[in-house]
Amino acid sequence: MTDLRSWARWLAPIAVLIIVALVFRDQLPFLGQAFAALGQASPKYVAAAIFFSVLAIVSMAAVMRILLASKDVNANMGNCTAVTLASNAWSTTIPGGPALSAWLTYRIHRSWGASAGLCGWFFVISGALSTVWMVVIGIVAAIFLGANLSMWALAGSLAVATAAIAGLFWAVYNPNVLARWARYLPTRVRERVLPVITQLGDIRVSPRGFIAATVFSLLNQLIDVATLYFCVAAVTGSLPGFHPSLDATTIQGVTLAFIMTKLAGAAQITPGGIGTVEPVATASLVATGLTLVDATATTLIYRIVSFALITVIGWVIYLIAYAGKGFMLGRQQ
């Protein structure tokens, strides 16, 4: 019953959107025009958007590969890309998806030979790096592009993410101090914590490796911006430039729309943010110069490419590589 209620809450907003679209379809002619525009989209720019959407996933996998670097861990770009796609599919389509996605990733990492400490290191550092770059892009958008974002909230998020990275690095290089502090914990807790502290102490990432992970994390965000950029070009037939023109947006406008779209999808109230992301993306593109029809068509292409296509690929990989092997049960075969 609980699972049924979770699915009902998860899918209810989408059902409402479908009903509203059907009831008011005669009052929303731009939707039909936008779907018609999809059929006229430039194939080369759609292909470019697909390429960059996949490349964004590969950059995330590169971060995973670097942070899990160890002689005892069987992590290469192929299996890192596969688990990134599979975990993304879980995260975006299942109620409680982010938690289930993290569990799947953890169990797969453990099957590669990663320690619990190394897995924790990956989750904290990769998440913090992603947050740092998202905040930095948000600050740039607020200062230079006029985005209506709270600088205090951005600064707070940046401080928390930076502190998490610094704190974990300190823990990695000071396991003896942590071990002394752990002596004050209850016996049962201490017995579980001490091995993880030892595992953290075994982690070593070179400055070059950390810089590489940081760069790939930034590239993940920038490549996602490029995906939206080529979706705009697919609809309008021309690449946005730096200077505005009639019924066209700019590189700055695409970047601003990307930021607002990411913020709208962060809560993930519905599968993949369906129903919350699209209005924000469309409104942002209209505000930066596109017509309502072109903005709607651009949003549809972007969501088909970056959400639907990537999610389908992720589920196919999960079914082929991980389904039925006990990863979600914690008893992989």
Range of the domain at 136: 41-323
Question: Bridge partners of 245?
Answer: 248
Instruction: List C-alpha distances in Å: 249 to 159, 280, 290.
Output: 33, 16, 6
Q: At what angle do helices 207-236 and 251-265 cross, to 10 degrees?
A: 110
Is 246 among the domain residues? Answer: yes
Is 235 among the domain residues? Answer: yes
What lies within 8 Å, CB to CB, of 70 at 6+ separation is 113, 114, 118, 203
Q: Quote the CA–CA distance of 121 and 113 in Å, as a whole number.
A: 14
Q: Mind listing the pLDDT tens digit of every residue in the chain (333 residues)?
A: 455 655 555 455 555 555 555 554 444 555 555 556 667 778 999 999 999 999 999 999 999 999 998 667 878 899 999 999 999 998 888 777 788 899 999 999 998 988 888 998 899 999 999 989 888 888 887 787 776 777 888 888 889 999 999 998 898 888 888 888 888 888 888 888 888 888 888 888 888 989 999 999 999 999 999 999 999 999 988 889 888 777 788 888 898 889 888 887 776 667 667 777 888 888 889 888 888 888 888 998 998 889 889 999 999 999 998 887 777 655 555
Is 221 among the domain residues? Answer: yes
Q: What angle do CA 317, 50, 284 make, to 5 degrees?
A: 120
Counting the structural domains of the chain, the total is 1
Please compute Rg for the chain using Cα positions.
22
Structure tokens at 108: 């797969």
Which region, left, alpha or beta, applies to residue 237 given φ > 0 means left and ψ of -120 to 50 means alpha? left
Is 18 among the domain residues? Answer: no
Is 247 among the domain residues? Answer: yes
Q: Please give the model's pTM, rounded to 2 decimal places.
A: 0.84
Is 70 among the domain residues? Answer: yes
Q: Quote the CA–CA distance of 233 and 243 in Å, as a whole number.
A: 15
Is 281 among the domain residues? Answer: yes
Is 22 among the domain residues? Answer: no
